Structure 1
């Protein structure tokens, strides 16, 4: 294809040398149509195509998804400007839905140095982005814990550098310096503070502190008592728990320290959850529980408010009795599997409330291990998710009603996900087009459209996907019998309560008969206009023939009055013919450009009076409806004839000015001369009668005046729009 590359093509072999084994998808495209010259195996895998089958084809045909996503415009800019394009984590309409790529597009020069193509490299970063999002979500959860948890928390992220993060509650309870001392971050004693064993007298060595032991020995320390003492004698008693945090290889990557509020002097053991945290649990319909390593329940907070079970009823496996009978086997199985495997436990099920009502809850539990990695106990939590489940059920019921309605409709009904990928079509769609859902995915829906309609509809769809608006367009759809029929294509987004687009719902309504009727109407109107123009042309020719006959007859009449009457009649017939000629020049055959009409009148008057000097002036674009334009032409013809006969006596020559303009929302047409002026009573009675009668017919106001510099000015004012009923 010489027209694509202009005689210059990229060097493929040099690119092939590195691209064949590259994990990135590499493509070489040439010329304005981006003809596919090379695709490496990785690119073929993305397209789920044999790369060889796509070669030498324009990119819009070989990979039509690129046209839908607007990526071809990016390729055009790079090829024509030579400026590279780079994007990270971009969603491209290639491969499986929902995948994102790091994209890089570079211009390629041929041997003669001219820009002849582009090199496209796509790196699939879908999994990396997913991991990043999960990491961000985990970081957000950690931030929330450190901001709101009603216990003292400290995390050492790096064992050697001892980078410490302390919770807001921990800082408020102990202060920064005591908290850092408690975590072993400083080996010296901060001003005014010391840390002692539970007797309050024996100073603690740094290596004895719980977090230090967890970091350096991998030791899990549970509920140890320490005393923070100030120089003023103030003592703060705390209970500390610490554990190491290990990476996937089992190496210590950090440590966690938790401490509780002071206990009473009788050293009665604190409950596992302090009073404020328990209040938070109960008001949030949240239950926190612990079990032994074999899964038997030890303690539970907030469970009574959820289920009404007493502590004695829930111990061991008694908590299963509060679960809905239909969900109980699933929960038992999952919990047993989690305990046996040591993996995180997750389940959603219905709990029976104190009054017998059932609500959905989500349970999650994780094992707590000792320094040797053995499970010491399990820590779990239950959250009330009944509102979410009810919303999901309502959504499912709504979707079911939508499907029933869609299947019953005579229209083609379809639905896509938020990115525009089809995920449902009704039976009518398959019945009419012969295409199923699978054939429409990945841009396959474009093949159903008429080739002339594809680019316009694809661009309109891409626009509404980008801005979230509605789609309303007409396109021809290929039916099962091989014919194209016009359809009105409409779509609208369905949004979540937060405003995010969940999916799109669309319909295609057959409007082929309407389009056919409109086409027939246009053809009929065109034929009618052609016929009218032909008729008007014949009328003009007939009038000119009559004018010629009258002119011939006037030349043979010797009686002056009779000759003058014949000449006046000739001028009037000629004026009507000239107005019809101006109508022939009209673009819509309903109005006449006044500049055309005045030009034709001047030409006709010059034929009657060869020595006449008629000067016209009309604003461009000023038009008048044909019903009033022809009478106006007769009026102006009478006034011009009078001026030519009477303004310059004795056969003198002089100009006659004919003008038309728009002023204050009305059309002003005037005829004036620079001679001695038309004497009073000079107009023959018939001509004056014609002028007055026609002016009244078109609603024009006539004003005649003598110009200060000599001559006569006759002005006609008439409305821009006719107020005469049609």
Structure 2
């Protein structure tokens, strides 16, 4: 029901409202010189599109009308140079974008022709900017803006775009880096390959792998197809185990013999390798990565050395290590047989200081200085150096000695031993190589890399985290790093992190982090546990990746979709309301035409009947009272029938009206006594007549009949006992206050309210239909409210009814205001 207080009317929001340069430009633009005319006269489709464009943060533009006039929002303006903005605003597209019209013109015409929409991704377009044409890449879409009055029902084109120059440059850099990594992978000195799936199908393989396997069609084949020998020699079983368990396998000196054919002996190789599972983001094993080294030659050399050492040990079984003794002045006076066997020296050139000649030339100065200083200080001596063996090769040894003293504590020299530690040095070298490889892999990751302890606490130096947040080691140590996480995200982050640590699973999370410059940025976080051979966690390696722009773009797209969906829903709802009102209006018009025709024909017949009765009354003798009584009965019936035809004509809006200027409050005051007489003593009448009521022009007699009709209906609804209220007011209807039965405008309102039994919704929906009544047969024609409805509509007004069972009924008559 419409509001009746003018102060409650809400102003309609203008579609050009908004802040920013472009809404202001739209409002201040001189549209009188434009083919579009003033904005208030624009088609609904254009107004809706402009409203969406001005309220979205995504770059949006519109081409409208036969000349494709160009309009855009603030986000799109930011992509334009001073050469374009504001010069192209409101200009034809072919003029505004002359330099690329050959590219975009056919696409725009395609949409205007009603052929569909356009999508272009990474399209190269030379745009005119400061300094001339500049190369740029764009992703954009063109969609039709519907307009029933336009050719092909398309009034314009709605465009959404994104400039891709910066993103494409990033993608090129990533591509170049990937190419570099592929070259490094291919040029790696060791054997490397990646197998995909449970059948172990080769996906990647470097040059060393190809040279070892000698299979030109390796990529795409399974291990069993490419290396049939691998199954019998245990490799396939190892691959199956790693894929099934997810545990890496480290192989040492594993034999692999290839059948090269042609009657040749098997090509035998020994490999040190690692089979490591490839795990995706969901924690699923998708393949196996292998890194191996062909140690065939080193194995053969090692076997030869071992055999030689065994021979030496058998000859020098009295001492498993080299033993030496010195005098207090540092001169060596004894070397056991093992020394001479290992170094090839003889006593003549080894004793004294000659044993230093067996050290590597690069190590000799350092070892000499350390020995002389230790001997002079009489302190223990311990050092490592490369010792030249008898065959001229060098091995790392540990040379250590303790001071030899007499019973009186006098320094007598040293007793020392030399132990071969070359294998340990080789292991350390491999560990260093592995660490260097890991650091190189970390450097290739796009994001901030950090490590945490097995318990999930940040320890040691973390240069990546320090560079990102500006925190110092004493600040981020333990769980201090959470101070750089947004307060709203910190609790959830700690909970998720501790759950991942307890469950020993990959940690995937997203939160905001304060950078060193104080800006909050959105980061995607991923951390993986590093396991030892027994499956225990050594430490966690994690990476923070900045996703701020990506999340902002997703949010903007969702907001745009929400706006579009809401707009579509609103338009569907409004269209259904209009269609329902149209159907009801057509129905009532048809009934009105039918009723009016019947009423006119019936009125003509009644005129003949009443005329006949008048003639009979004059011609018949007045001496016969019985005849005159029958004539009176016939005339009374004819008059009632004439009243029925008047009501039918009123419903059909065909009754003759005599409109006049009416003061509503005075008319109602004059009706009080008639209403009291007509309604009876059981009905109390309250009149609330507001001062300052606007004048209106209606037929006063018909208005009195309408009010009386409503009062009688109210009396019947209250069963003769209750309260009837008549109110008057002024109302201005607009926007959301409008209903299906009343148009926008200024009205004088008469509200007739009772506290009777009210109506069910299905009855309320039919009360204005002709001949519809809830009264018993013979007690109502069903034209009372239809007559009121017809009179009000014929007077240019409207009528509304509100009723609920048990809560009474209120009927509002809206009569148009007239000027004073």
Q: TM-score, normalised by structure 2?
A: 0.29
Taking CA–CA contacts closer than 8 Å with sequence separation of 6 or more, which of the two structures ends up with the larger relative contact order? Answer: 2
TM-score by length of 1: 0.32
Higher alpha-carbon Rg: 2
